[in-house]
Structure 1
Amino acid sequence: MFELENIELTCPSDVFLKVIKGKCKTTLIVMIKKGRNRFSEMKRTLPTISERMLAKQLDELEKDGLITRKAFPEVPPRVEYYLSEYGESLYPIVREMRKWGYLHIEKQERTEGDKGE
């Protein structure tokens, strides 16, 4: 007999969503993968995110082991972010999820356009 008493069951999909949930996290993963890996580049590309929020999202991605941060001992200081090996394993999933998101946006726009006719 299998007993479930005192065992918390975790849904793997919920864990995945919790890790990538956050303002622009999937966009940050894509940007870092494509070589836009400096804070200033990310901030310029994402004007709707505050510096504080951007720093928070990068910190969370680093704590989850998806990105690594490399500080260069220069003046002025330079920091670059890279996908970790673990983050690389997530990248194809993020890429496909974003493709689906674009398809869904197009579908909604077509549906809205049909209503206006």
Structure 2
Amino acid sequence: MPDFVSDKHLFHNPVEFAMSKIGGMYKMPILWRLKDKTWRYSELAHNIPHISDRMLSKSLKELLNDGFISKEIFPEVPLRTEYTITERGNKAVTIITALRNYGFELMNDFGIKEK
């Protein structure tokens, strides 16, 4: 496959492109949590270990802009924001599940125990 450009970034293959959309430290954990239910911002912030507000906001914004999640804002005091996975996000969860299972296999192969 020839190289291609998306968002002013040169990609060499479709796997690299897909990983740019769902990879990184926090996008997959966010999608994993949203696969089963709608979450509020504060719930995600408290449930994802070691995530800063800046990184949560950035990851949510990128997932939202790329169509993996949707956002609903409720005009209440205090303001309530909820995030839900989209069809595109559910397709990504299929890949995340395969990667997760493979990760567990590798951990087992290397003698690493789950916490």
TM bracket, shorter-chain basis: 0.7 to 0.9
Indicate yes or no: 2:102 matched with 1:100.
yes
Three-state SS of the structure 2 residue aligned to 1:109 is coil
Structure with higher helix content: 1
Name the aligned partner's letter for residue 95 of structure 1: T
Unaligned runs of 5+ in 2: 5-11
Residue matched to 2:70: 68
Question: Across the two proteins, how many residue pairs are aligned to each other?
Answer: 104
CA offsets 1:50-95 (integer angstroms, 9 cap, x no match)? 1111110111111111001111111111111111121122211111
Unaligned runs of 5+ in 1: 1-6, 111-117
Percent of residue pairs identical: 33
Preserved CA contact (<8 Å) 2:39 2:83: yes
Alpha-carbon RMSD across the aligned residues, in angstroms, is 1.7
Residue matched to 1:14: 16
User: Between Structure 1 and Structure 2, whose CA radius of gyration is higher?
Assistant: 1
Preserved CA contact (<8 Å) 1:22 1:57: no
Preserved CA contact (<8 Å) 1:23 1:57: no
CA offsets 1:34-62 (integer angstroms, 9 cap, x no match)? 22511111111123111111110111111
Preserved CA contact (<8 Å) 2:3 2:13: no
1:77 to 1:66, Cα distance in 2 relative to 1, 3 A: same
For 1:47 and 1:91, how far apart are their aligned partners in 2? 20
Structure with higher strand content: 2
For 1:108 and 1:8, how far apart are their aligned partners in 2? 35
For 1:17 and 1:47, how far apart are their aligned partners in 2? 21
**Normalization by structure 1: what TM-score?**
0.79
